C-alpha cells in the first residue's frame, strides 16, 4: 500500500479506529514507514499529531503506542471531532471557492 506522505496521519488514524493496531500496541516508525510507503519523517510527524489528538501515547523506553482511552475519553474525543471537523471542512471549502 503506497500513499502520499500528507495522508500518513489520516491513514494511521483510520487504521487505529478500524482496529488494525491493538490498543496499547507498539507503533514503530520503521514498520509504519514500510506499510505506508513513506520515509520515517512523515511517520514521526504523524505520530506527534496523533499523540496530540489522543490516538497515540509515547511511553518512555517503548516509543509510540496506540492509546487505551477509557470509554468516556473515547466518547469525548469522538464528540469533539464530530463538532470540529465540519467546521474545518466548511472553512476549507470557502477558502477553495475564493481561489476559483
Domain borders along the chain are 1-68, 69-100
In the chain, % helix, strand, coil (3-state, to 5) comes to 65, 10, 25
CATH 1.20.59.10 fits 1-68, yes or no: no
pTM over 0.85, yes/no: no
Q: Which three cell numbers stand for residue 10?
A: 489520516
pLDDT band for position 61 (50/70/90)?
Answer: confident
As a whole-number percent, the residues of the chain with pLDDT over 90 amount to 73
pLDDT reading at 1 higher than 80: no
Amino acid at each position: 500500500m503506497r500513499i502520499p506522505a500528507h495522508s500518513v496521519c489520516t491513514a494511521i488514524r483510520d487504521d487505529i479506529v478500524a482496529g488494525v493496531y491493538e490498543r496499547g500496541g507498539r507503533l514503530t516508525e520503521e514498520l509504519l514507514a514500510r506499510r505506508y510507503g513513506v520515509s520515517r519523517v512523515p511517520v514521526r510527524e504523524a505520530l506527534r499529531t496523533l499523540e496530540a489528538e489522543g490516538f497515540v501515547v509515547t511511553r518512555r523506553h517503548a516509543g509510540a503506542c496506540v492509546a487505551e482511552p477509557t470509554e468516556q475519553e473515547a466518547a469525548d474525543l469522538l464528540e469533539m471531532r464530530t463538532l470540529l471537523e465540519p467546521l474545518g471542512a466548511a472553512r476549507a471549502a470557502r477558502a477553495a471557492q475564493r481561489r476559483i
